[in-house]
Structure formats: structure tokens, C-alpha cells
Amino acid sequence: MPFGSGLGSSAASAAGGVFAVSEFLRTGLTKYDLLRFAVEGEQIADGAFHADNVGPSLLGGMILIRDNETLDIKKLHIPSGLYVAIIYPHVEVLTRDSRNILNPEVKFNDVIKQQGNLGAFIAGMYTSDYGLISRSLQDLLVEPQRAHLIPHFYEMKELAMSAGALGFSISGAGPSMFALCDNSIKAESVIEAAIKLYKTKRLDINTYLSKINQEGAIRF
């Protein structure tokens, strides 16, 4: 789905870097003013001009991107009580490689369904309709093509949904995975399931649990 999560190391570095420099030089630029510089910084790392990672890293929250070239973006409303569980398996998935495996052609019916999911997801966010959010968190276009890059992805997805997650998918190019949950207890259950699963698979992981960061880059 075309909204940003900000869960990339290059994105965090680009966003934090431009914000830190701006603060140090006292430029007076707003975060929106700095966004293009951050996007151009990540472009050096992964070869593409897109704001889906640096946008939320810099601005916070979830970002809807209407157009990348003009950076026409909108922060979405975040319902109270929304938590995210992140599972990062210790495998290397390069953004360039992950992008190159994507088929440039998609089925028209899948596009229609995905646009419906996106519209319903946004509606669910603004109305705090967790049921609608859950039904909408389905990636019909990219997840099926990238899932094989992440060890035991579908097994982990099944465990997350059984633990009560609203939805589960790949964060950007991977290998991080995310589970969106309507409370911290369910998010903790997803983390526990991930730790048990990957321990049996003898694969190291890092896990993170947090509310949605609404602030983005800030000055301490």
C-alpha cells in the first residue's frame, strides 16, 4: 500500500541527517522544507527518488504520497491505541535487488482491489474503525513478489494474525516485517510469537514494539 512507514536505516539516516544539519545551522527551515533534501539523500543510497520512508522518518506518523515527484504528501490521522510490532530478521535484502524483482505489469483487477484497500484503510484510520483497517491491510501487488526473500514470512504472518494483529506485511523492501495492532498486549503477543518461531529456526532477529511516532525527527 502506498503509505510510508519510515522503517529503513537509510531513510532514518537521511531524515535525521538533514534535520540535524538544519538545526545546527539554524536555517529556520520547516520539516516540509527539508523533505526534498532527505529524499535526495536516500536516493543516493537506494537509487530511487521516493518519500515513503524518509517522509514518516522526518515528519512522523503515517504518510500518504499522492505524487513522489512533487512530494505532494499528507499525514494520516492515527487512531489512539494503535501499536506496531516490528520483526527484523538478520538477513540481507538490498533495496535495489528487492525493487528489481518486481513485475512492471500487474493485473487490472488486482489494482482495483488494492485501490479499494487503500481507500478503505484511510477511511478506517480517520474513523478509528479497526475492523475496516484490518480488512484493508492486504497487499495484493508487492507482498506476493517479495515474501520469498524473507525466511518463514508466511509462517510468521499466520502467527501474527492468530495473535490478534490487524494486519501483517513487509516493511518497504524488507527484510523487516510489521504487525499493526489495536493494543499493546496483542503487539507483545506478536513479538513473543516471533521470538519463539525464529529461535526454532535458528535465525537471529531484533524486535521492536511502539506506538506510532507522531513527531518524527526532533531536537533533544
| Other Cβ atoms closer than 10 A to 162 | 11
30: annotated active-site residue: no
One-character DSSP codes across 11-46: HHHHHHHHHHHHHHHT----HHHHHHHHHHHHHHHH
CA distances (Å), 3 to each of 48, 119, 141, in order?
A: 16, 11, 14
The residue from 27, 30, 95, 127 that is catalytic is: 95
The H-or-E segment that residue 206 falls in is: strand 205-211
Instruction: Report the distance separating Cα 89 and Cα 51, nearest Å.
Output: 24
Kindly report the number of other CB atoms within 10 A of residue 198's CB atom. 20
Total number of residues shown for the chain: 220
Q: Which of 23, 27, 30, 42 is catalytic?
A: 42
Helix (H) or strand (E) holding 136: helix 130-136
Residue closest to 65 by CA, chosen among 77, 57, 53: 53
* Nearest by Cα to 64 from 3, 109, 11, 126: 3
Q: Which of the residues are catalytic?
A: 42, 95
